Amino acid sequence: MSRTDPTRPMPAGGPKAGTPRPKRPTLTQGTQPLPRGSARPTGPRKPKQHSPFRGLIISLTVILITAGVAVGGAWLWLQGGIGPVTIHELCTGRFSDGSKTSLETDQANNAAIITGIAEKRDFPVRAATIGVATALQESKLRNISYGDRDSVGLFQQRPSQGWGTRTEILDPVYATNAFYDALAKAGDLKSMTITEAAQKVQRSAYPQAYADHEPQARLIVSPLAGYSPGGWNCILKEDGDLTAQTAGNDGLTTRAREVKSAAKTELGRTKSAADKLGTTLTFTVPASDDDHHAWALASWALARADALGVKQVALAGHRWTRSSSTDGWVETTTGLSDRQVTITVY
């Protein structure tokens, strides 16, 4: 039977027998738009043309955005904080001309010890600059427990060369005094370069390297020694682990006692009085001392704040508070004389 057998019934709704099948509509060519619902032309589609610089532009955009984020993050990191928010703990030494340098808190702690002991021993400020420059070269101002052969500590002193025992050299106060003992025998520091003075003590295989650190050492020592008043600041976080302490029989808490002992050992400051809680010490700088010594004591307290649990330092007209340390030294009425410094611990 043929497919067009007229005797076979057609499906419901189908065309009648003998009715020609309608033709499929043809696609309109040229610029005439196709009717809605019409089939689209078949065959290969012409690829979309892109600018030959499109990939390069996208890559450069991504690089610039990434670089901007990195630079912004690095800037915030180097600043230590933004507004009242502390991002990164660090200390900064600054000159009045705006030049500055920054240290991590452990480096600042050691720089304060080196600078303070020079003051205690009544050495010229140049001795402190030599000491800090030497420690920057030898250990990056860190009290490291390793080095060339048996060298250890801030100045990479060697027990085998008569500098003391390993334990003694790893005490920054001992190591600094040992360095200054040798420096005192070097001769007239004013007539020597930093390289010459440091080399007389260290006997380094690379003596010229000490001079490379002189600019940074000056930026550290000048404010720490009080010659750039207000030029030293530390941005620190609040230490929630430091709980309140009760004063002992001597009227001092343990932390206040440690501050008093360190001030005597490192600065030679012995005149102090405590408040009723035993957490605030008021030091009086003798009238025989130069005016910069009050700022030297205050800056020392900031640089040692992280290690000693200091939360506030004040002197005449200025106050530094750890909880708002991003503000630095704030001018305010403190009721203190030009020769008084108060140090408050947690």
10, 16 in Cβ contact below 8 A?
yes
Q: Which of 176, 211, 228 is the last residue of a domain?
A: 228
For 133, 195, 204, 214, 343, the CA distances from 199, given in Å and listed in that order, are: 12, 6, 6, 14, 37
Q: What is the pLDDT of residues 258-284, one digit of tens each?
A: 999 999 999 999 999 999 999 999 999
Q: What is the pLDDT of residues 27-84, one digit of tens each?
A: 444 445 545 555 555 555 655 565 666 666 766 666 665 555 444 444 444 555 555 5
Q: With respect to residue 250, please indicate whether it lies within any of the assigned structural domains.
A: yes
Percent of the chain scored above 70 by pLDDT?
A: 75
Q: With respect to residue 283, please indicate whether it lies within any of the assigned structural domains.
A: yes
pLDDT value of position 51: 62
Q: Tokens 């408040």 appear where?
A: 275
* Residue 112: both structure tokens together: 């304060």
What stretch of H or E contains 82?
strand 81-82
90, 236 in Cβ contact below 8 A?
no
Q: Which domain holds residue 243?
A: 237-346
**For the chain, where are the alpha helices, taking DSSP H only?**
54-79, 105-120, 125-139, 166-169, 172-183, 194-202, 209-212, 214-224, 254-267, 292-303, 305-308
Does 250 lie in the same domain as 218? no
Q: With respect to residue 50, please indicate whether it lies within any of the assigned structural domains.
A: no
Q: What is the pLDDT of residues 193-229, one digit of tens each?
A: 999 999 999 998 888 899 999 999 999 999 999 999 9
Does 201 lie in the same domain as 100? yes
Q: How many helices (H) and strands (E) does the chain have?
A: 11, 11
Does 223 lie in the same domain as 346? no
* Residue 154: both structure tokens together: 């801030």
Does 211 lie in the same domain as 248? no
| Residue 7 amino acid letter | T
Q: With respect to residue 18, please indicate whether it lies within any of the assigned structural domains.
A: no
116-136 in b/e burial notation, b at 16+ Cβ within 10 A? bbbbbbebebbbbbbbbbbbb
Please count the other Cβ atoms lying within 10 Å of the Cβ belonging to residue 202.
Answer: 20
d(CA 13, CA 22): 15
Report the CATH number at residue 333: 3.90.1150
Strand partners, 235: 90
Mean pLDDT of the residues in the chain: 86
Biggest CA-to-CA distance, the chain: 135
Give the CA-trace dihedral at 193, 194, 195, 201, to 10 degrees.
120
Q: Which of 167, 197, 228 is the last residue of a domain?
A: 228
What is the total count of domains within the chain? 2
d(CA 55, CA 71): 24
d(CA 247, CA 258): 13
pLDDT value of position 65: 59
Does 203 lie in the same domain as 273? no
Does 331 lie in the same domain as 293? yes
The closest alpha carbon to 194, from 171, 170, 219, 217, belongs to 217
Per-residue pLDDT for 325 more than 80? Answer: yes
Q: What is the pLDDT of residues 107-121, one digit of tens each?
A: 999 999 999 999 999
HSE-up of residue 70 (Cα within 13 Å, Cβ side): 6
Q: With respect to residue 30, please indicate whether it lies within any of the assigned structural domains.
A: no
Does 252 lie in the same domain as 224? no
pLDDT band at 165 (very low <50, low <70, confident <90, very high): very high
d(CA 130, CA 68): 39
d(CA 127, CA 190): 9
Q: With respect to residue 169, please indicate whether it lies within any of the assigned structural domains.
A: yes
